[in-house]
Amino acid sequence: MKRGDLKLDRYRFTVRPVTAEEGTGCLIEFPDVPLCMSDGATVEEAIASGRDALIRLRIPRTVHARFTNRARPEGVSLNTLVTAMIAEGLGKRKAS
């Protein structure tokens, strides 16, 4: 999958300087993707690193297989299925 296929510019993000306790540089966070964050020495580096973080998701092989088996009959990619499930979960969480 190419980077452009993900439409990364559609993800909202915030960039802030890291605190003295955290180190140096800038931290990028994505409010719509909990726990997805990255950093860099500059704002530009943090954004580039953050985009890479959006692309990577590590899950156990058994979970990956279950997602793949569910995505196939629905006719969607694994990434589309996972994104939809995350969005659905966030919606339920917000409603409670």
Per-residue pLDDT tens for 36-74?
A: 888 999 999 999 888 888 877 667 788 888 888 998 999
pTM comes to: 0.53
Give the span between the Cα atoms of 76 and 66, in whole angstroms: 14
Give all strands of the β-sheet with 37-40 in edge-to-edge order. Answer: 14-17, 26-29, 37-40
Is residue 37 within 8 Å of residue 46, measured between CB atoms?
A: no
Give the span between the Cα atoms of 70 and 82, in whole angstroms: 10
In DSSP terms, which residues pair with 15 in a beta bridge? Answer: 28
Whole-number average pLDDT of the chain: 82
List phi, psi (to 5°) of 87. Answer: -60, -40
Of 15 and 92, more confident? 15
Q: Residue 1: is its pLDDT beyond 50?
A: no
